[in-house]
């Protein structure tokens, strides 16, 4: 807390306040608000606030921006810590703020490196800012297991820029939105950002040309406007093109069971029989469906302990139906005695058919494993949650199969990783989750938006079953066809189509985006070296 206050006071009040506000409004561009102009305003402000600063000063502004960015964007962490982690309101607030401050260090480093790369050149700043932003989104997706949340590219889902998603994916969309924000920020009067603060010394030594400091000409302004709207115009044109087509085969009927088991009751051993009966009764009332999907850890027990129950459920399945459900699996291990996996299990109505298993690869820090376990476990209930010692599944697992369909399985957090959904060609995507940990917050709706984007990127239908919402059926355009209400037991039924063909993003991933970013970085470095020599 002292560090945060120090950063607030290290700059004069106005830029510090603007940095916090700019970061705080960013989540408005994502679900559930979907006010995408907020991204343009937020990103443009960060660029302008950082322009005339030294790298160290820019790092402070970046930290404050990140504090607002994550403080509002991942505020749902408070629910997990307070409601299910056993922390009181004061401790939960402190830990949420501490978590946000830790994540804000990404923006601190991002702003520092941006200034180191661009120097005081306005031209280099305009070129470097979008590239550095996207590279840090990628860095954030894998560093320390990764936190691939709040990518600005997701704001493209509800506007014409969605046409670019099947072509360049979420990182590419992030790059285009950031370019638009940078272009629009050039239209803001420069006097708006003339602060009487620690930037004064940097401003006095600014080497920018007089033309860049004067009021821009009408022609220049038109050029910036054109640059800002070009991605949206081309995105609209791309929306008119179908990268994939429906197969002539019949549609697939699906049934998603949203159990709505209270998180406080789910892991109590005495409630297991009632939970099993709850899902068994749901099966008795199901209509005919080719694929039946239960949520993540629908039955909170190991597979080997409930085999008789699973056999009963198998017998209940309609002919030619496949049930896919989240369960726990314990596997003997020489070193640890056994390993626990968060799994998806697929079983068919055909007697004697072996189970199919998928084990979760990407685990949630503190929820499914505890970093620095020897030091943290036992401090508070959050670090000792049920089943928080999972092992990671193999990254090269085969697809699941259901009635002749190949199925890409993703469990909860995994849907946030852009490349997982395109690991192997599949007919449809399924994802299961238990967003009960986040209560009635914006977290589950952000999670759903990511799932929609995965369907759009790879051009496949996606079905999503959750414990208490939102369960949904999503088409290949990322559009919600059917969805459930939150905090309600519901069986969602519908039809999905097998799509044929592949999107450019499925074929090439983010490679075009990374090549462009590398080319821009190399051009800036080369230009600065030549400047230094002159």
How much is the pLDDT for 193? 62
Q: Judge whether residue 83 has pLDDT over 90.
A: no
Q: Judge whether residue 249 has pLDDT over 60.
A: yes
Contact 444, 466 (CB under 8 A): yes
Pick the most confident of 72-86, 199-213, 224-238, 375-389: 224-238
pLDDT band at 202 (very low <50, low <70, confident <90, very high): very low
Please state, in angstroms and rounded to a whole number, the distance separating the CA atoms of residues 301 and 287: 27
How much is the pLDDT for 212? 46
Counting the structural domains of the chain, the total is: 2
Contact 118, 167 (CB under 8 A): no
Q: Are residues 326 and 416 in the same domain?
A: yes
Q: Is the peptide bond before 32 cis (omega within 30 degrees of 0)?
A: yes
Task: Tell me the pLDDT of the chain averaged across its residues.
Answer: 89
Do the domain assignments include residue 509?
no
Rounded average pLDDT over 296-321: 93
Q: Which of 51, 115, 360, 498 is catalytic?
A: 360
Q: Are residues 360 and 371 in the same domain?
A: yes
Do the domain assignments include residue 516?
no
Q: Are residues 360 and 456 in the same domain?
A: yes
Rounded average pLDDT over 105-110: 98
296 in active site? yes
pLDDT band at 90 (very low <50, low <70, confident <90, very high): very high
pLDDT band at 293 (very low <50, low <70, confident <90, very high): very high
Q: Judge whether residue 524 has pLDDT over 80.
A: yes
Do the domain assignments include residue 161?
yes
How much is the pLDDT for 322? 95
pLDDT band at 201 (very low <50, low <70, confident <90, very high): very low
Q: Are residues 156 and 101 in the same domain?
A: yes
Do the domain assignments include residue 143?
yes
Q: Which of 412, 457, 477, 497 is catalytic?
A: 412
Q: Are residues 139 and 180 in the same domain?
A: yes
490 in active site? no
Do the domain assignments include residue 144?
yes
Q: What is the pLDDT of residues 309-335, one digit of tens each?
A: 999 999 889 888 999 999 999 999 877
Do you know the residue count of the chain?
Answer: 534
Q: Are residues 292 and 232 in the same domain?
A: no
Do the domain assignments include residue 223?
yes
Q: Judge whether residue 479 has pLDDT over 90.
A: yes
How much is the pLDDT for 533? 87
Q: Judge whether residue 214 has pLDDT over 80.
A: no
Do the domain assignments include residue 513?
no
Please state, in angstroms and rounded to a whole number, the distance separating the CA atoms of residues 423 and 434: 23
Q: Judge whether residue 374 has pLDDT over 80.
A: no
Q: Judge whether residue 351 has pLDDT over 70.
A: no
Q: Provide the residue range defining the domain that includes 86.
A: 2-196+210-243+521-533
How much is the pLDDT for 334? 77
Please state, in angstroms and rounded to a whole number, the distance separating the CA atoms of residues 114 and 124: 10
pLDDT band at 388 (very low <50, low <70, confident <90, very high): low
| Secondary structure (DSSP) of 411-463 | EGGGGG-TTGGGSS--SEEEEEE-GGGG-SSSHHHHHHHHHHHHHHHHT--EE
How much is the pLDDT for 377? 46
How much is the pLDDT for 11? 47
Domain CATH for 327: 3.60.110.10
Q: Judge whether residue 196 has pLDDT over 70.
A: no
Calculate what percentage of the chain has a pLDDT beyond 90. 74
Q: Are residues 317 and 354 in the same domain?
A: yes
Q: Are residues 186 and 259 in the same domain?
A: no
How much is the pLDDT for 368? 75
**Residue 379 or 187, more confident:** 187
| Range in 82-91, 154-163, 361-370, 512-521 the model is least confident about | 361-370
**Is this prediction's pTM over 0.85?**
yes
Please state, in angstroms and rounded to a whole number, the distance separating the CA atoms of residues 464 and 481: 12
Calculate what percentage of the chain has a pLDDT beyond 70. 88
Q: Judge whether residue 468 has pLDDT over 90.
A: yes
Q: Are residues 191 and 45 in the same domain?
A: yes
455: Cα separation from own chain's centroid:
13
Q: What is the pLDDT of residues 1-26, one digit of tens each?
A: 556 555 544 544 578 889 999 999 99
Q: Judge whether residue 267 has pLDDT over 70.
A: yes
108 in active site? no
Q: What is the pLDDT of residues 406-463, one digit of tens each?
A: 999 999 999 999 999 999 999 999 999 999 889 999 999 999 999 999 999 999 999 9
* Strand ranges, E, within 274-372: 291-293, 322-333, 337-348, 356-359
Do the domain assignments include residue 204?
no
Q: Judge whether residue 530 has pLDDT over 60.
A: yes
Q: Which of 296, 348, 457, 476 is catalytic?
A: 296
Please state, in angstroms and rounded to a whole number, the distance separating the CA atoms of residues 358 and 527: 50
Pick the most confident of 207-211, 385-389, 417-421: 417-421
Q: Judge whether residue 216 has pLDDT over 80.
A: no
Instruction: Spell out the alpha helix ranges (H) of 162-271.
Output: 165-185, 200-204, 210-213, 218-239, 263-266
Q: Are residues 33 and 86 in the same domain?
A: yes
pLDDT band at 32 (very low <50, low <70, confident <90, very high): very high
**Residue 339 three-state SS:** strand
Rounded average pLDDT over 166-176: 98
């Amino acid at each position: 807390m002292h560090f945060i206050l120090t950063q607030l006071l290290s700059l004069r009040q106005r830029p510090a306040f603007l940095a916090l506000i700019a970061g705080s409004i960013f989540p408005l561009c994502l679900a559930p608000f979907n006010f995408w102009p907020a991204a343009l305003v937020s990103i443009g402000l960060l660029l302008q606030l950082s322009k005339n600063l030294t790298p160290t000063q820019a790092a402070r502004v970046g930290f404050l921006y990140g504090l607002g960015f994550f403080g509002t964007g991942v505020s749902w962490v408070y629910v997990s810590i307070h409601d299910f982690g056993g922390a009181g309101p004061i401790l939960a607030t402190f830990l949420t703020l501490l978590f946000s401050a830790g994540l804000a260090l990404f923006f601190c480093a991002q702003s520092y490196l941006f200034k180191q790369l661009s120097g005081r050149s306005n031209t280099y700043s305009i070129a470097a800012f979008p590239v550095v932003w996207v590279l840090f989104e990628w860095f954030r997706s894998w560093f320390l297991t990764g936190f691939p949340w709040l990518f600005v590219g997701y704001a493209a889902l509800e506007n014409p820029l969605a046409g670019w998603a099947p072509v360049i994916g979420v990182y590419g969309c992030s790059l285009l939105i950031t370019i638009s924000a940078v272009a629009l920020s050039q239209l803001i009067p420069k006097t708006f950002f003339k602060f009487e603060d620690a930037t004064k010394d940097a401003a006095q030594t600014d080497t920018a040309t007089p033309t860049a400091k004067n009021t821009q000409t009408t022609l220049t302004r038109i050029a910036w406007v054109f640059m800002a709207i070009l991605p949206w115009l081309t995105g609209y044109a791309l929306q008119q093109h179908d990268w994939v087509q429906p197969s002539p085969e019949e549609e697939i009927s699906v049934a998603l069971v949203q159990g709505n088991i209270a998180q406080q009751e789910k892991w109590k051993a005495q409630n297991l029989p009632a939970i099993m009966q709850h899902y068994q009764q749901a099966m008795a009332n199901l209509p005919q469906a080719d694929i039946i999907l239960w949520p993540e850890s629908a039955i909170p027990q190991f597979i080997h302990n409930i085999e008789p129950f699973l056999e009963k459920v198998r017998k209940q399945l309609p002919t030619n139906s496949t049930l896919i459900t989240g369960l726990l699996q314990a596997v003997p291990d020489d070193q640890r005695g056994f390993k626990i996996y968060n799994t998806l299990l697929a079983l068919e109505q055909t007697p004697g058919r072996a189970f199919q298993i998928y084990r979760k690869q990407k685990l949630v820090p503190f929820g499914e494993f505890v970093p620095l376990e020897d030091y943290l476990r036992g401090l508070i209930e959050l670090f000792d949650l049920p089943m928080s010692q999972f092992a990671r599944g193999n990254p090269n697992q085969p697809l699941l199969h259901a009635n002749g369909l190949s199925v890409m399985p993703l469990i909860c957090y995994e849907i946030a990783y852009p490349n997982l959904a395109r690991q192997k060609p599949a007919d449809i995507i399924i994802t299961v989750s238990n967003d009960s940990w986040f209560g009635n917050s914006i977290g589950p709706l952000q999670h759903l938006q990511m799932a929609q984007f995965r369907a759009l990127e790879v051009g496949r239908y996606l079905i999503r079953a959750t414990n208490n919402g939102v369960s949904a059926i999503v088409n290949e355009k990322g559009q919600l066809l059917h969805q459930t209400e939150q905090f309600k037991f519901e069986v969602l039924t519908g039809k999905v189509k097998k799509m044929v063909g592949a999107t450019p993003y499925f074929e090439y991933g983010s490679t075009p985006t990374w090549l462009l970013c590398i080319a821009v970085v190399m051009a800036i470095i080369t230009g600065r070296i030549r400047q230094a020599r002159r």
